[in-house]
A and B are shown apart, each in its own frame.
Chain A
Amino acid sequence: MQQKAEFDQRVQEALNNPQLRSNFRIAMDGLMEKRSNAFPDKSFMEELRVLGSKIRANALAKQPELLEQLEANCTRNGIQVHWAETIEQANRIVLEIMERHNATRMIKGKSMVSEEMEMNHFLEAQGKSCIESDLGEYIIQLDHETPSHIIAPAIHKSKQEIAKLFKAKHPDIPYSEDIETMTRSARQVLRSKFYEAEIGLSGVNFAVAETGTLCLVENEGNGRMCTTVPPVHIAVTGIEKVLEKLSDVPPLLKLLTRSASGQHISTYFNMISSPRKPGERDGPKEVHLVLLDNQRSKIYEDDELFDSLRCIRCGACMNHCPVYTRIGGHAYGSLIPGPIGSCIEPQKFGLDKFGVLPTASTLCGACGEVCPVKIPLPKLLHRLRYEQVRDDHTGATNGQGSQRSGKEAMIWKLWSWAHANPAVYRSGTRLASLFRGAIPNKIGPWTRVRTAPKIAPKSLHQLAREEGFDHE
């Protein structure tokens, strides 16, 4: 139960931090409003979501074949494809590419898979430098933090906090809380890094099997710089990002940008189809694609839970989650926070490590309602609650049964017995009504912020009998 205690500790810290609470509340309110405004026509949205979920479901159904096709077409285009079953293998592949080029400096576009790999730590331990060029990632790298949101990694910080951070790290740049000025100063610091880096690294939003094309969605232009300025570009992604056809991209892109930030289209949309060709004046001389499994194949084995692989990483589920809004991303203790993180991370790293996450939801359904590819998030969280307490040892989920406690199981057995036997239930409620005066007015944490519920003098069973509703 250590994970629960640690989770509770992080939750406490977050809830008791008014600045953090306000940063998330304001940001999430803004993102929800933007999404809502981006879908003025609800039937258009619904049709698009149905289409998006079909495209993703189709790609997953055909994933093994599509991955082979992707490899063949990328290779034909001159993109070198590498397979990594684990994050160690993926890091090793990246390191080997760097060493082959005697490279020491990497400039990075935003990539959650590289975060999953903890690539910066790995490469820095090997004497390499990795500079994040996405503004949010750059901010958290300066402060040695992890992302608190999958598309807005520094969303937990206010502009004043960022201004102070910039001043501390770059004392020579004048202090400013003006967002444009701060962005310009980050741009100024980063500009030379693009030219110095021997390696540019990016993530991938969609990998198109039909054409061997890597699609990258971004707003800052840093993604395009990372993938074109350095002589070598390495793209890292999870195997579930593969799509069947190029025509699958537009609907998903429409859904992604609208759901994530309320944009009709992102400022930049890159389609990377090959390294620099003979006669071309720019672009990287080498392009590598690292395809990471890291438990995705295991998630894939379960007919229900494999829906979590449909995710296109828009972040709408966390933006709309009342729990995420209260506690923020870091409290989850996992790389991906919010509802989708609570589905994926326990499956990847085990319920023994992250079993608390599926319980940290009221199952209110806000996440499932906004998911652009209709992942039934509440249903999956619910399923994981079952997986963590089941004791038949038949499922495939990592850490199955690990959260089962003898005491809790006994309580539910008793509860079940009482509610499956009407005579027992009625005696129980009769006793409760009779001794309602003896019910304490302090009941655990419930009454820390609420009054205790009051048991009625007569149950509905009794009132229904008295009023003659009990028979035909």
Chain B
Amino acid sequence: MSLIQHYPDRPEKVYFFGTCLIDLLYPQAGLAGMRLIQREGVQVIFPQDQTCCGQPAWNSGYRNETRAVVLNQIRCFPKDYPIVVPSGSCAGMMRHHYPEVFKGKPEEALVNEFSQRVFELTEFLVHVLKIELKDLGEPVKVALHTACSARREMGVADEHEALLRQLGNVQLVEQARKAECCGFGGTFAVKHPDISAAMVADKAQAISDTGADQLVSGDCGCLMNITGHMEHQGIGPRNHHIKGQHIASFLWERTHATKS
């Protein structure tokens, strides 16, 4: 994204949109994200009526079916607090695609106002909270996979890296073709499983080749795809599959004793 994003001052309260994938499969990542924000003295509100951003239907071409789901999310976050999302993909949907979903519809203005309040977690930590992390963990070699939507749609690849670089005992290693897609692509992995499998095999190999102990990503879709493949194939150093973690869990686990 070449557009310059304007960030608000540190708010008193934020909303947290957990994403459906985190809700069901990686809830600790969501919890870690909320705790990281809370630790900075900002109140975090998790509205219980939230469900899914609507991206699966949207990317499959079902626009009417998307609208009903989007309107539910918009109803959940009525006040003018920032909405923090621990996923580049869902944040991209909510910030950049919601206005398209409702272009020319009566709800357009409401949706645009909502979209401007959406922030991906790492950009929020870096630019709004200006978080300073102190690493309490053991030395570890980490590979970072940044989701395509985080990199290209939200433009937060640098923010992911900047947070990891704050951790003194973390050695960040770079895999070959790091900006290449892992092959998840939501329904793509279901509709074109063979192409997706070829892509994830290459990605897993590239990560494994770095000798990293651990894989970190800001998006659980990619994580589920890559670590799922590593587990299945037994890919990793010394024949152990590489542990995969959401960046929020990773940051929280390595820093949380400081204030607790």
Contact = CB atoms under 8 A, between A and B. Distances in A.
Interface in A382-429: 382, 385-390, 408-409, 412-413, 415-422, 425-426, 429
A361 B188 contact: yes
Nearest to A50: B2
B11 interface: no
Interface string A460-472: 1111110101111
Contacts of B65: 412-413, 415-416
Given A432-B24, A460-B18, A389 B198 contact: no
Contacts of A118: none
Contact of A361 (B31, B49, B185, B228): B185
Contacts of B43: 472
Contacts of A421: 72
A12 B195 CA distance: 9
A46 B193 contact: no
Contact of B61 (A323, A385, A458): A385
Interface in B222-243: 224-225, 228-229, 231-233
A416 B224 CA distance: 23
Contact of B153 (A15, A365, A408): A365
B253 interface: no
Interface stretch (A139-147, A151-159, A212-220, A449-457): A449-457
Interface residues of A, number: 69
A391 to B, nearest CB: 10
B7 interface: no
A471 B227 CA distance: 34
A363 B182 CA distance: 12
B87 interface: no
Interface string B28-61: 1011001000100001111111111010111111
A18 to B, nearest CB: 11
Contact of B233 (A359, A415, A447, A449): A449
Contacts of A445: 190, 193-194, 197
A59 to B, nearest CB: 23
Contacts of A387: 61
A454 B187 CA distance: 18
B2 to A, nearest CB: 7
Nearest to A449: B197
B87 to A, nearest CB: 12
Nearest to B55: A363
A439 to B, nearest CB: 11
Contacts of A455: 24-25
Contact of B195 (A323, A365, A469): A323
A326 B149 CA distance: 21
A113 B29 CA distance: 52
A444 interface: yes
B52 A450 contact: no
B232 A449 contact: yes
B43 to A, nearest CB: 7
Contact of A449 (B34, B58, B229): B229
Nearest to A384: B61
B105 interface: no
A222 to B, nearest CB: 34
A430 B195 CA distance: 33
Contact of A46 (B2, B188, B196): B2
A451 B228 contact: yes
Given A359-B188, A453-B228, A470-B46, A416 B62 contact: yes
A322 B180 contact: yes
A418 B52 CA distance: 10
A469 B24 contact: no
A448 interface: yes
A365 B57 contact: no
A44 interface: no
A14 B72 CA distance: 43
B190 A8 contact: no
B25 A360 contact: no
Contact of A362 (B50, B51, B61, B183): B183
B181 interface: yes
A362 to B, nearest CB: 3
Nearest to B185: A362
Contacts of A412: 57, 60, 62, 65
A69 B88 CA distance: 48
Interface string B65-84: 11011011000100000000
B213 interface: no
A422 B20 CA distance: 12
B132 to A, nearest CB: 23
Given A361-B188, A382-B61, A453-B228, 7 more contacts: A322-B183, A385-B59, A415-B57, A422-B49, A445-B190, A456-B28, A470-B47
27 contacts: A11-B195, A12-B194, A15-B195, A327-B195, A361-B185, A362-B185, A362-B199, A409-B62, A413-B65, A415-B65, A418-B51, A419-B72, A425-B51, A425-B52, A433-B24, A445-B193, A446-B189, A446-B190, A448-B193, A450-B229, A459-B27, A460-B30, A461-B48, A464-B16, A464-B31, A470-B46, A470-B48
Give the 8 A-B residue pairs with the shortest CB-CB distance, closest first.
Answer: A362-B185, A450-B228, A445-B193, A364-B181, A416-B65, A385-B61, A365-B152, A364-B148
Interface of A: 8, 11-12, 15, 46, 322-323, 326-327, 359-366, 368-369, 382, 385-390, 408-409, 412-413, 415-422, 425-426, 429, 432-433, 444-456, 458-465, 467, 469-472
